[in-house]
């Protein structure tokens, strides 16, 4: 059992971003996912139902009938897509990356194989993006069950969720490569995740906020996602192309930052 007979002979140098390396890392994620998918999927389906019951039915029965002509339960239901995306991308990326690096030494094993940090980070982001892209659709499906009319534009929602989730996965990986201790994620959650989640136009339209806050809120990728999802449900506008481009740029930016931060963390 010697002589690398089982593996293809390695060339002098290997390419960057090899699909085989990315697939290999993702296959590890898939193998692990098969052991815990039931719990994760259960909470991903149940949470939007609880939110819709609490905010949608609760508030629409007492305080708000509709927003911008949209029934409040449908307003919240379409907005909840963004909530599902950030909570199934940024948080798993932060905690998962930190645990795999610090406690499980998983990355040390992967980087001993012909995989580099760029491929590792790309695969982690893609995996989280795909998963969050799927989970992001659940609130929309639940809202349809609560009366939202299906529309062709909704078929693009998984794509919007995937691209946004890529961005937040990159953000999470970069944060994991930056903090020194796991409890420092409390700062990240309080300073970034919660404000982004609250000022995304999910529960209330942001045009009621002070002008300065509205301008800053436009930078929030979650707000752009919410607008795109509502576009898919109620009709797109030309500006939605710019919104999608913004989300793609956000994903590209966080990808490069995450790769740089992880290289610093993983390579001595």
Partner 1 sequence: MAAIELRGVVKRFGPITAVDGLDLDVPAGICLGLLGPNGAGKSTTMRLLTGQAIPDAGELNVLGHVLPGEAKAARAEMGVVPQLDNLDVDVTVEDNLAVYARLYRVPDVGAAVDRALDLARLRSRRRDAVDELSGGMRRRLLLARGLVHEPKLILLDEPTVGLDPQIRTELWTLIGELKSRGTTILMSTHYIEEAERLADEVAVMAKGRIIARGHPAKLIGDHAGTQTAEVYGPPERLAEVRSGAEAQGLRVRPAGPAVAIVGSERAANGAIPEEAVIRAATLEDVFVLLTGEEAE
Footprint on this chain of partner 1 (rule: CB under 8 A): 1-14, 20-21, 23-25, 27-28, 31-32, 34-36, 104-106, 108-116, 266-268
Token pair for residue 114? 């012909």
DSSP letter (8 states) at residue 65: S
Smallest gap from residue 128 Cβ to partner 1 (A): 17
Cα–Cα distance, 150 to 263 (Å, whole number): 44
With the C-alpha atoms ordered 131, 132, 136, 138, is the resulting torsion angle positive or negative?
A: positive
Smallest gap from residue 30 Cβ to partner 1 (A): 9
Annotate 102-166 with DSSP letters as a single string: IIS-HHHHHTTSS--HHHHHHHHHHHHHHHHHHHTHHHHHHHHHTTPPP-GGGGGHHHHHHHHHH
Smallest gap from residue 246 Cβ to partner 1 (A): 34
Cα–Cα distance, 94 to 108 (Å, whole number): 18
Is the separation of the CB atoms in 76 and 55 below 8 Å? yes
Is the separation of the CB atoms in 91 and 130 below 8 Å? no
Smallest gap from residue 267 Cβ to partner 1 (A): 6
Based on its alpha-carbon atoms, the radius of gyration of the chain, rounded to whole angstroms, reads 20
Smallest gap from residue 82 Cβ to partner 1 (A): 30
Smallest gap from residue 111 Cβ to partner 1 (A): 6
Q: Which is nearer to partner 1, 47 or 116 (CB)?
A: 116
Smallest gap from residue 21 Cβ to partner 1 (A): 7
Of 97, 261, 91, nearest to 186 by C-alpha is 91
Q: Which is nearer to partner 1, 151 or 263 (CB)?
A: 263
Is the separation of the CB atoms in 247 and 163 below 8 Å? yes
| φ, ψ at 2 (rounded to 5°) | -145, 165
Q: Which is nearer to partner 1, 253 or 260 (CB)?
A: 260
Q: Which is nearer to partner 1, 35 or 62 (CB)?
A: 35
Q: Which is nearer to partner 1, 1 or 238 (CB)?
A: 1
Is the separation of the CB atoms in 175 and 181 below 8 Å? no
Q: Which is nearer to partner 1, 66 or 108 (CB)?
A: 108
Cα–Cα distance, 90 to 256 (Å, whole number): 16
Q: Which is nearer to partner 1, 106 or 202 (CB)?
A: 106
């Amino acid at each position: 059992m010697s002589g690398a007979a089982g593996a293809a002979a390695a060339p002098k140098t290997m390419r960057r971003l090899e699909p085989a390396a990315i697939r290999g890392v993702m296959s590890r994620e898939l193998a692990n996912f098969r052991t815990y998918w039931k719990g994760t999927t259960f909470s991903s389906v149940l949470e939007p139902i609880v939110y819709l019951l609490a905010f949608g039915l609760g508030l629409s029965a007492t305080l708000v009938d509709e927003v911008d002509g949209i029934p409040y339960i449908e307003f919240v239901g379409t907005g909840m897509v963004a909530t599902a995306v950030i909570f199934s991308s940024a948080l798993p990326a932060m905690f998962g990356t930190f645990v795999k690096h610090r406690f499980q030494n998983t990355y040390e094993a992967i980087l001993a194989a012909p995989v580099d940090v760029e491929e590792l980070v790309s695969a982690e982001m893609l995996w989280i993006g795909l998963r969050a892209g799927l989970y992001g659709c659940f609130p929309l499906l639940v809202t349809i069950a609560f009366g939202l009319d299906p529309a062709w534009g909704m078929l693009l929602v998984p794509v919007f969720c995937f691209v946004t989730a890529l961005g937040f996965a990159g953000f999470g990986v970069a944060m994991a490569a930056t903090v020194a201790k796991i409890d420092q994620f409390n700062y990240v959650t309080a300073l970034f995740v919660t404000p982004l989640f609250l000022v995304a136009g999910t529960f209330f339209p942001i045009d009621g906020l002070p002008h300065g806050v509205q301008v800053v809120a436009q930078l929030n990728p979650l707000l752009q996602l919410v607008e795109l999802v509502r576009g898919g449900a109620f009709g797109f506008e030309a500006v939605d192309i710019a919104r999608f481009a913004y989300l793609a740029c956000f994903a590209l930016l966080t990808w490069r930052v995450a790769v740089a931060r992880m290289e610093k963390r993983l390579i001595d």
